[in-house]
Amino acid sequence: MLRIRGTTYHFRRIVPPALRSALNQREIWVSLKTGYQNEARKRASLLHARTTELFDATSRALAEGQEQQAVPHVRDALKDLHRLLESPTGIEVMPLSVSRPRSRPQNMRKASAVATTSPPKPQPLLLSQALTRFVLENPHASADTKKATQRAVELFLQAFGDAPISIIGGEKAGAFRDLLFSLPASLGKRKSSLTLPEEAARAKKDGRPTLSGKSVKNHMMRLSALWNQLLQRELVKKNPWTGWSFENGSKTIRRGWSTQALHTLMTGDWPRSSVPESTFRIVTMIGAYSGLRLGEICHLRTEDLEGSKNPWF
């Protein structure tokens, strides 16, 4: 039902054999005027319903023995779809005659000759092609850069489909940012057959934690770096991935230890047997003195601790 020509999706539906003579059509082609797959599917569903009504009306007219003039015409039956699609010129019916061959215009031969001599129109650069050309095939890009950029682009393609880079602007960048903030933090850590909007709806329903501002910023920055290359090559006019805020809620309030709590921590009994009490106390003292994190403390070596007269060292 969906076909893509160049970067634009089209709707195609075969006319039932019993109705071809009456409608003087074998198939119906309609330009959906969009390069986004999700949007094309929505528009195609409207066209499918409308053409079904057309086929039903034609079948009733033939069953009642009405004259050929009473049979609805395809273009007339589809003309109200102009208001259903986003583009007012979204309807483009391409009829194929089955009753008799169409007369060839006299200037057809001249037009064909002109068409063969004109240079082919360059195809717009798709986002997936830009990723491959400027990142994945770039010998100077690191493995981490390639992996992270590919992940960010794949998330965008899953959400909105592939499209020319020239039509991706602030609207899509903002929609992608909002979607990232609603995705679960566990995305990609388990297999799932859900789409990204479904993942977001499920996370909201179950109250699951979502991607942090740092994660969203990383994805946006990878796309921004790719767009900077496109901007330098004058393949796009602006970079829509910059200037966004990544604060998605209230910050975690951290309070300091009270004197009583510190005294309890240092003098209380250590209940665990898997970690020696001496290890627990020295880690606690280093953390209180330096502010290091647990992982940073555990990576310290003996020679890293100098000039200390503490009996624990």
Q: What angle do CA 39, 42, 48 make, to 5 degrees?
A: 140
Q: Residues 281-305: what's their mean pLDDT? A: 81
Does position 286 have pLDDT exceeding 90, yes or no? Answer: no
Number of Cβ within 10 Å of residue 191's Cβ equals 5
Q: What confidence score (pLDDT) does residue 239 get?
A: 94
Q: What confidence score (pLDDT) does residue 117 get?
A: 57
Q: What confidence score (pLDDT) does residue 81 get?
A: 52
Following DSSP, what letter does each residue of the chain receive, concatenated?
-EEEETTEEEEEEEPPHHHHHHHT-SEEEEE---S-HHHHHHHHHHHHHHHHHHHHHHHHHHHTT--GGGSPPHHHHHGGGGTTSSSTT--------SSSPPPPPTTHHHHHHHHHHSPPPPPPPBHHHHHIIIIIT-TTS-HHHHHHHHHHHHHHHHHH---BGGG--HHHHHHHHHHHHHSBTTTTSS-----HHHHHHHHHHHT--B--HHHHHHHHHHHHHHHHHHHHTTSSS--TTSS-----SPPPP--PPPHHHHHHHHHS----SSS-HHHHHHHHHHHHHH---HHHHHT--GGG--S---TT-
| 306: confidence class by pLDDT, cuts 50, 70, 90 | low
The partner residues of 29 in beta bridges, in order of sequence, read: 12
Does position 141 have pLDDT exceeding 80, yes or no? Answer: yes
* Range name among 10-14, 64-68, 138-142 with the lowest pLDDT average: 64-68
Does position 74 have pLDDT exceeding 80, yes or no? Answer: no
Q: What is the pLDDT of residues 37-46, one digit of tens each?
A: 888 888 888 8
Does position 98 have pLDDT exceeding 50, yes or no? Answer: no
Number of Cβ within 10 Å of residue 307's Cβ equals 5
- Mean pLDDT value across the chain: 78
Q: What confidence score (pLDDT) does residue 195 get?
A: 87
Phi, psi of 191 (to 5 degrees): -75, 140
Cα gap 15→9, rounded to integer Å: 19
Q: What confidence score (pLDDT) does residue 99 get?
A: 42
Q: What is the pLDDT of residues 164-177, one digit of tens each?
A: 999 999 999 999 99
* Range name among 211-215, 252-256, 283-287 with the lowest pLDDT average: 252-256
Q: What is the pLDDT of residues 251-279, one digit of tens each?
A: 566 677 788 887 887 777 777 667 787 77
